[in-house]
């Protein structure tokens, strides 16, 4: 946050253009931009390796126990911190599904499946991973009863409905869910060095690093996407049309 703040000051010359309070205006604008970029990029993640690299801090994998719902499918609840779906898989050993040993040491996020010792001994070296296809709700019923394309362990299917996922075939007991969590809000905490008590001149911000402040979770390569959006917002804040225009143009170019 401090590095971004310094670059932001250099970009827009806050001393000449107007005071942008670090713990209110700057912090709020930065977190708004963070959610904006997360929402935009998670919807485009499969189209660009660069976007995938931006989103690395937010991609999470969890083993989720599936509960039998009826004779056609099982259901899984949204995992904690779930923000947006990425992919899902089942790990097959012989005639059953099991947790992935490489995700949280084989532990499930919503209950106990087996101990790590049992997992390692029984199936660690003999696993098969099959991607679950997320399908449209309108095709779900026909998918379940299709004579040749019905869900199997080799070709599992899933649909999102009623705040849950339904997964077929019915004997799927564990799903490896890959999803994007939202960024945690960043904070900018600081103290002021004493200046002239009459004029305030000489006051300087002394940034309080983590753990007092909460850093942005984005990688350094995403900084320019923040800077030009901050510049655009600062131009609107100060009614500086030139700053708003040039920042918008630069934002469009890097997007």
Task: Say if residues 119 and 98 touch (Cβ distance below 8 Å).
Answer: yes
What pLDDT is stored for residue 188 in this prediction?
Answer: 95
List Cβ neighbours of 208 (8 Å cut-off, separation of 6 or more).
189, 190, 191
Query: How many residues appear in the chain?
Result: 255
Residue 13: pLDDT over 70: no
User: In the chain, what are the domain boundaries?
Assistant: 2-42+184-217+219-254, 59-180
Task: Say if residues 205 and 115 touch (Cβ distance below 8 Å).
Answer: no
List Cβ neighbours of 246 (8 Å cut-off, separation of 6 or more).
231
pLDDT in tens, 142-159: 988 887 888 999 999 999
> What mean pLDDT do residues 76-92 have?
94
- In percent, the amount of the chain with pLDDT more than 70 equals 82
Place 17 in a pLDDT band, splitting at 50, 70 and 90: very low
User: Measured at the alpha carbon of residue 181, what is the angle toward residues 234 and 63, in degrees to the nearest 5?
Assistant: 170
Distances in Å between the alpha carbon of 54 and those of 20, 40, 133, 149, 252?
Answer: 27, 12, 25, 36, 17
Query: Which ranges constitute the DSSP H helices of the chain?
Result: 2-12, 14-17, 27-42, 49-54, 116-123, 140-145, 223-238, 241-254
DSSP class of 25: I
The whole-model pTM stands at: 0.84
């Amino acid at each position: 946050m401090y590095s971004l703040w310094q670059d932001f000051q250099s970009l827009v010359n806050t001393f000449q253009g107007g005071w942008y309070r670090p713990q209110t205006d700057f912090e709020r604008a930065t977190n708004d931009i963070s959610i904006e970029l997360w929402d935009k990029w998670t919807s485009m993640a499969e189209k660009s390796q660069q976007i995938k690299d931006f989103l690395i801090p937010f991609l999470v994998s969890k083993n989720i126990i599936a509960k039998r719902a009826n004779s056609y499918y099982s259901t899984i609840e949204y995992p904690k911190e779930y923000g947006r779906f990425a992919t899902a898989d089942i790990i097959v050993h012989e005639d059953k599904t099991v947790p992935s040993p490489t995700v949280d040491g084989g532990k499930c996020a919503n209950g106990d499946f087996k101990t790590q010792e049992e997992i390692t001994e029984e199936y660690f070296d003999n696993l098969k991973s099959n991607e679950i296809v997320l399908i449209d709700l309108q095709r779900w019923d026909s998918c379940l009863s299709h004579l040749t394309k019905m869900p199997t362990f080799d070709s599992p299917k899933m649909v999102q409905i009623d705040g849950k996922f339904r997964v077929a075939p019915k004997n799927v007991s564990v799903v490896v869910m890959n999803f994007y969590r939202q960024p945690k809000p960043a904070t900018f905490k600081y103290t002021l060095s004493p200046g002239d008590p009459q004029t305030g001149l000489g006051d300087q911000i002394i940034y309080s690093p983590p753990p007092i402040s909460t850093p942005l979770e984005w990688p350094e390569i995403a900084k320019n996407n923040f800077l030009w959006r901050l510049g655009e917002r600062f131009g609107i804040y100060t009614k500086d049309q030139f700053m708003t225009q040039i920042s918008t143009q630069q934002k469009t170019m890097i997007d």
